[in-house]
Structure 1
């Protein structure tokens, strides 16, 4: 479980490609402890649960995004 103190130094970012200005986005930011872990949260529910990914998990995700692995076709 991540503590509020660990989240206090997170520099949250929203994708510049997000068209949503109403708070329906995902925010992500590195933990300030230098571990390389990245916290992710819903921008509208900033006090709700945060998911934390290890450096390796985050790099795998970003690599998949860049490779188009998450370009899902609409159903």
Structure 2
């Protein structure tokens, strides 16, 4: 299914001074942007790339990038 969606804001982004990540499905790809600068552009992922990213995030593969 490739139907377009509205922008979805990460629930982890709310309440932190407006630094928000948003994502949507558009024209068969996943787009990600910074809600503070929505006109600055988007990063695009194929659905396969997005699925791989989410799988890695769920497995903690990116945890070493966290500060703190």
1:25 matched to 2:20? The reply is yes
TM-score, with normalisation over the residues of structure 1? 0.70
Structure 1 residue 19 displacement after superposition: 4.3
1:71 to 56, 63, 68: 63
2:31 aligned residue: 39
TM-score, with normalisation over the residues of structure 2? 0.76
Unaligned stretches of 5+ residues in structure 1: 1-8
Deviations 1:3-50 (CA, angstroms, capped at 9, x unpaired)? xxxxxx54111111224353211111111x3x2x10011110011111
Structure with a larger share of its residues in strand? 2
Q: Which runs of 4 or more aligned residues in structure 1 lie more than 4 Å from their structure 2 counterparts after TM superposition?
A: none
1:49 aligned residue: 41
> What is the number of equivalent residue pairs in this alignment?
64
